[in-house]
Amino acid sequence: MKTVLLASNTSWNICNFRGNLIRALTKSGYRVVAAAPPDSYSAQIPALGAKYIPLPMDNMGRNPLRDGLLFFRFFSALALQKPLCYLSFTIKPNIYGSFAASLLGIPVINNVAGLGSVFVSSGLTQTLVRSMYRMALRRSRRVFFQNEDDCQLFINQRISRIESSEVLPGSGVDTAHFAPRPRQSSDGCFTFLFLGRLLREKGVPEFVEAARELKSYRPHARFQILGFAGVDSPSAIQASEVQAWASEGIVENLGETNDVRPYIANADCIVLPSYYREGVPRTLLEAASMEKPVITTDMPGCRDAVIDGKSGFLVKPRSGADLVEKMKAMLDLPAHIRERMGKTGREHVQTKFDEQIVLSRYLTVIGELVSENRG
């Protein structure tokens, strides 16, 4: 069997974002190996159909010795598995895994799922990451981007080659799994839901301040936060901080979950005021697929998920005043208008972001490699 090795910076990422890709590959006759740091999700990877390889990784670290060791871990795993191709997701697998695969003559297919906080800031770190990306991607067979802005930035700055660069519609959404469902609560209180990793760049403080102001405008409105706190990032928001906001009565802390659908179903609007360089936020696509209007920022990736004024609203990045204005506008809309927004959002996702578009493209590119080997 032809082997495909894929790697990401967490097992959580593989389970939540790459599970259906693994299933599609195994269904097409490939043997799949998944490499990622061990975490509480690692044990779930074999059930997806992939062999799991623990790959310790210091995601936020900049220690050259540790990164050198990471390169050798990638080199060893790839040399042992001898895959037909290497699929990489997230920054360090994109860089160090690509270096190792290229040295071994293994074709590389990268996925640049947003640029994160590194490309928002300036300085030595950004310059170093750009340079390493440029060296890592120059031999890649294909570099998939999740939005046109990121793709053009990499091409214009000669980080990736125009002939190997291509835009895919985010990670794709299983629109059958994320289908509309009725609300379980019916107390009539309008509910805003922040859904995502709890990072400052995701706009969590802005959401909380907007909630604080809107409480006086609509006292019975709900403002909920659902997501992982204390993640491995210098900008992580700790659970204690969220709980302090909840104790103050500003927001409801919903904690973490493996299934966001009941929470999306019980919300009236999903809010993500992110100024992080997203790919295309999966949470926005999932919410739209479930016919919920969304409010997000006019940033690369975020704006791709919304038809402004028709499936939700776009706000200026880092503008608390604009966020309050758009959330107030959503509160004041008649219910039938919000329902129409939700249906428009689902149609948008079904047309442009359905997961089958992404899976089909991966299978096509990998199939081309099989044909080349046979030739």
Residue with tokens 């490939």: 30
Answer for the pair 155, 288: CB distance below 8 angstroms, yes or no: no
Taken in order 28, 33, 38, 44, the sign of the CA dihedral is positive
Does residue 258 carry a pLDDT above 90? no
2-36 burial, b if ≥16 CB within 10 A, otherwise e?
eebbbbbbbbbbbbbbbbbbbebbbeeebbbbbbb
Pairwise pLDDT comparison (276 vs 139), residue with the higher score? 139
* 291-316 residue pLDDT tens: 999 999 999 999 999 999 999 999 99
Q: How far apart are CA 327 and CA 314, in angstroms?
A: 10
Kindly tell me if the per-residue pLDDT of 375 is higher than 70.
Answer: no
CA distance to 9, 67, 99, per residue, from 35 (Å):
9, 16, 16
Q: What is the pLDDT of residue 118?
A: 64
Amino acid (1-letter code) at residue 155: I
- Starting at the earlier edge strand, list the strands of the sheet with 222-226: 252-255, 222-226, 191-195, 269-272, 294-297, 312-315
What average pLDDT does this structure show over 75-99?
A: 96
Other CB atoms within 10 Å distance of the CB of residue 223: 23
What integer pLDDT is reported at residue 183 of this predicted model?
Answer: 87
The answer to whether residues 7 and 74 touch, using CB atoms and an 8 Å cutoff, is yes
Q: Which domains does the chain have, with CATH numbers?
A: 3-172+354-374 (3.40.50.2000), 191-352 (3.40.50.2000)
State the pLDDT confidence band at 121, using cuts at 50, 70 and 90.
low
Q: What is the pLDDT of residue 124?
A: 74
- Please name which of 337, 342, 252, 250 lies closest in space to residue 294, comparing C-alpha atoms: 342
Please determine, for residue 68, whether its predicted confidence score (pLDDT) is greater than 80. Answer: yes
Is the whole-model pTM more than 0.75? yes
- The arithmetic mean of pLDDT across residues 106-127, rounded, is 79
Q: And the tokens for 270?
A: 């999903």
Greatest C-alpha distance within the chain:
70
Q: What's the pLDDT band for 197 if we cut at 50, 70, 90?
A: confident
Give residue for tokens 């032809």.
2
